[in-house]
Structure 1
Amino acid sequence: MQETRLDTARIRAARRVIDPMFLDTPLYRCEALEPRLGCAVSIKLETANPVRSFKARGTEVVASRLSDDGSQAVVCASAGNLGQALAWSGRGRGLDVTVVASRFATRAKLDRIRALDARLELVDGDHELARERAAAIARHENIRLVEDSLDIETCEGAATIGLELLELVDSEPSFDAVLIALGGGALATGVGHVVKALAPEVEVICVQPLGAPALTHSWRQRRVVTTDSVDTIADGVAGRFPIPAVLDDLLLVADDAVLVQEASIIAGMRMLFDHAGLVVEPSAALGVAAVLEDRDRFAGRHVAIIVCGSNVDVDAFHHWVGAAVHSPW
C-alpha cells in the first residue's frame, strides 16, 4: 500500500491515551438483519459511550497532546458530534473548549455540548461557515484550532476502530467488506488505512448521501469537487468542501465510494431500530442503506458496518422511523 498521512505505529500508540471507555466497542453478528439484507452482517457499535459517537477516539488524542504541551484552550467547528467529543475530552484535561456550530444543527447535539461545559457559538449558516468562524477565533485568541479529518489525530483516533475490527477475529477477517460513513473523511481514511495495511483483501466501501456528495465526487474524479449546498438529513456527513490532503489519503485506501438516497437512509434507521434494537442518527445508517440499494453486490457476502453515532433528535427520529413504515424495505 502506498503511504497515507497516517502511521500504524502511531495508531497503536493512540490506544494508550484514549480513555478505555471509548475502546473495544462491541463487534457482533446481527443475524436478525441478515434475511432482510441478503448477506451476513457484523455491527461495530460506536454509540455506547458518553458522547454516543466514535469522535471521542480522536479528541482524546488531541486533548492528551494539548495537555502535555501545556495548552489551555481549543476551538473547533462541529455539526455536533465532534463538539461533544472535544468538550468531553477537554473538560477531563482542564482545557477551555469553544465549539462553533450552525444554529440549525440538531438540538440534542447542541444541548449536550452546553451540558459538557463548552462555550458554544452559533452561526447563521451551515457547517462551512462554522469552520470559517472557528478559524477566526483561533487566530484572534491564538489557540489551537481542531480541524476534523485534516488534523491527523482525528484520523488516527478513528483508525483504532480498524485495529479492533481486525484484532477481534481469530485469524483472517470473517467479513470481506467494511462499509464506512463518509463525511469529512477521518473515519474512512483512518479505518481504511488500517484495513489496507493489515487485511488488504477486505474491500473498503465509503458511503455518502446523494444530497451531500462532495467527497464522493472528489474520489471518483480524483480531484477536489465542491458543492454549493447540501440537502440531507444526515447532518454529520454534510460537508461541501473536501480537504485535499484527506482526499489524497482516501484515494489510497478506498476501493469504492457510493451515494445513497434519503429514503434508503431512513429505511436503514428503521431496520436498525426494529431488528437490532438500535436508535441511530442518519449517518450511522449509511452502511445499511448501501446494502439496500445494491443487494446483488452484497448477496452472500459478509459485511462489517460501523454504526458511528446515535445523537439524534427524538422528534425527528420518530418522524423518520414512522415514515419508514411505508418503505418497500
Structure 2
Amino acid sequence: MNKEKNTYFPSIDNIKVAADTIKKVSAVTPLSPSLRYSNFFKANIFFKREDLQQVRSYKIRGAYNKISSLKDVQAKKGVVCASAGNHAQGVALSCKLLKIKGTIYMPAPTPKQKVEQVKMFGEDFIEVKLIGDTFDDAYYEALQECEALHKIFIHPFNDEKVIEGQATIGLEILEQATTPIDYVFIPVGGGGLAAGLSTVFKALSPNTKIIGVEPEGAPSMLLSIKNNKNTELNDIEKFVDGAAVKRVGDLTFPICKALLHDMVTVPEGKVCQTILELYNKDAIVVEPAGALSIAALDFYAEDIKGANVVCVISGSNNDFTRAAEIKERALLYANLKHYFIVIFPQRSGALKQFVVDILGPNDDITHFRYTKNTNRENGTAVVGVELKHPKDLEPLIARMKRDKFYGDYLNNKPELFQFLV
C-alpha cells in the first residue's frame, strides 16, 4: 500500500467494526443502475444513493461511529461540532440516538431550513448556536468551547473514527456489486469519504480506479496533491458548500495522495446542469456536492466506455431558495445566458426596434434595468438575454453593433458580473 512513515491508514478490520456499529442507524443504501446515463456514456453506470439516508447524506456514518466510540466520561461532558450542513444533521441525530448532549455551531447566515432540520433530528439533546458570518467563525467558537469545558470536538472529516465510518460505503458497494467495478467517482471536500473508501478498494478491489471530484472553485485536494503537501487555499467559491473547503484534513490528505487514481475538478455551472438534469429527467433531488461525481463523467467519457462505473451521490439537502441561482449558473455554463450593456437612443420606439430588429426569433429578455440620463441623447440598460442555441450569440452581437445598440458584454467581466448573478 506504500504507507508513508507515521501515516494513519484505516484498517479493514476497523472499518468492518464501524459497519457493525452504524447498522443501528445507517441504511444500506441502494446501488441503482442508471439506464439513461448508461446509454449516454455506453457504460454500466450505477448510483450509490447516499441521498436516501435518514439525514439525506452519508455524514451520519462517520458522525455516529465517532460519537458512539466515546468513553462514558467523555460522553457525559457532551460533544461539539461546527457545520452549516450535513455533518450537523449527522451529529444531531447521533446525539439523540445515543442520548448525548451536543452543541452545534452554525454561521448566523445559515438558511433557516437547515437550522430547523438540525433541531428536528437532535430534539432536546442538542443546542444550536448561530455564531459569526462564516464557517470559520463558527469553527473557532466551537473549538473555544471544547477547550474551556473539555468537551470532544466531532470533526467532519479529520478524525480516524469518522473516516472509518465513511469507509463503510466502500464495503457496501463491493457487497452489492454483481460484477467487478472499474471506476468509482466520489465527491471530495475535506477527504473523509475519499480516504475511507479508497482504503477499502485498495485492499479488496485493487484494480478499481477511484476518481476524486472537487468543485473548480475549491480544488484544495488537487492542489495539495500537486504540491505534495497539504496546502490551504486563500479563497474558495462556496457554491458547492458540501465540498468547498480551504484545507483538507491532515489525516485524509496522505491517504488520498497515495490511493486516489486521479483528482478532477468540475465547473460549478456543470454541477448546476447536472442537478437540473437529475431532477427533470430522473426525479432525483441532489445537493451541489451530491451532483459532483455524476457531473465528472463527461470529463472521463472516453475512459469509461464499456466499463462498470459507480457514482456516489453524497446527499440531497438542497435549499429550494437556491433554485433560481442553480438555473442561472447552468444557463451561463451552457453559453445560453448573456448580459449586455445596451445603448438606447432616447427616442420613441427604440426599445421596440431592439426587440423586433435586434433579438432573434427565439431570444428572450430575462433581465432589464434601464437608466434614463437627462439631457443626453442615449440611455443605457443592463439586459440579460437567454438564447435557444449558443451559436445565436455572435449574430446577436453583430446586429447590436450594426444598429449601434452595443455597449459592452458583461459575462467575461467578473468584477461587474458578480452583481448580476
TM-score w.r.t. the length of structure 2 is: 0.73
CA contact (8 A) 1:214 1:239 kept: yes
Amino-acid identity (%): 28
> What SS class does the counterpart of residue 128 from structure 2 fall into?
strand
1:145 corresponds to which of 122, 142, 153:
153
CA contact (8 A) 2:268 2:329 kept: no
Alpha-carbon RMSD across the aligned residues, in angstroms, is 2.1
2:303 corresponds to which of 297, 300, 308:
297
1:191 pairs with 2:197: yes
1:80 pairs with 2:85: yes
Structure 1 spans left out of the alignment, 5+ residues? none
> What SS class does the counterpart of residue 63 from structure 1 fall into?
helix
- Structure 1 partner of 2:19: 15
Task: List 4+ stretches of structure 1 deviating above 4 A.
Answer: 67-70, 325-329
Paired residue total: 327
Question: What is the identity, as a one-letter code, of the residue corresponding to 1:140?
Answer: A
> What SS class does the counterpart of residue 100 from structure 1 fall into?
strand
CA contact (8 A) 1:33 1:271 kept: no
CA contact (8 A) 2:32 2:47 kept: yes
1:63 corresponds to which of 67, 79, 87:
67
Larger-Rg structure: 2
Change (3 A) 1:44 1:318: farther
1:6 to partner: Cα distance? 0.7
> What SS class does the counterpart of residue 33 from structure 1 fall into?
helix
- Structure 1 partner of 2:164: 156
1:274 corresponds to which of 265, 280, 296:
280
Question: What is the identity, as a one-letter code, of the residue corresponding to 2:145?
Answer: I
CA contact (8 A) 1:21 1:49 kept: no
> What SS class does the counterpart of residue 60 from structure 2 fall into?
helix
Q: Does 1 or 2 have the higher relative contact order (CA < 8 Å, sep 6+)?
A: 1
TM-score w.r.t. the length of structure 1 is: 0.92
- Structure 2 partner of 1:49: 53
Question: What is the identity, as a one-letter code, of the residue corresponding to 2:18?
Answer: A
**1:231-284, CA deviations, whole angstroms, 9 ceiling, x for partnerless residues?**
132101111122222211111221111111011101111222233321010000
Aligned equivalents of 2:299, 2:238: Cα separation in 1: 17
Change (3 A) 1:318 1:164: farther
**1:207-244, CA deviations, whole angstroms, 9 ceiling, x for partnerless residues?**
00011111221022211111122113210111112222
Structure 2 spans left out of the alignment, 5+ residues? 336-421
- Structure 2 partner of 1:102: 107
Question: What is the identity, as a one-letter code, of the residue corresponding to 2:133?
Answer: G
- How do residues 173-184 of structure 1 correspond to structure 2 at under 5 angstroms? 173=180, 175-184=181-190
> What SS class does the counterpart of residue 119 from structure 1 fall into?
strand
CA contact (8 A) 1:209 1:232 kept: no
**1:14-57, CA deviations, whole angstroms, 9 ceiling, x for partnerless residues?**
12211445232100211122234443210000122221100111
> What SS class does the counterpart of residue 310 from structure 2 fall into?
strand
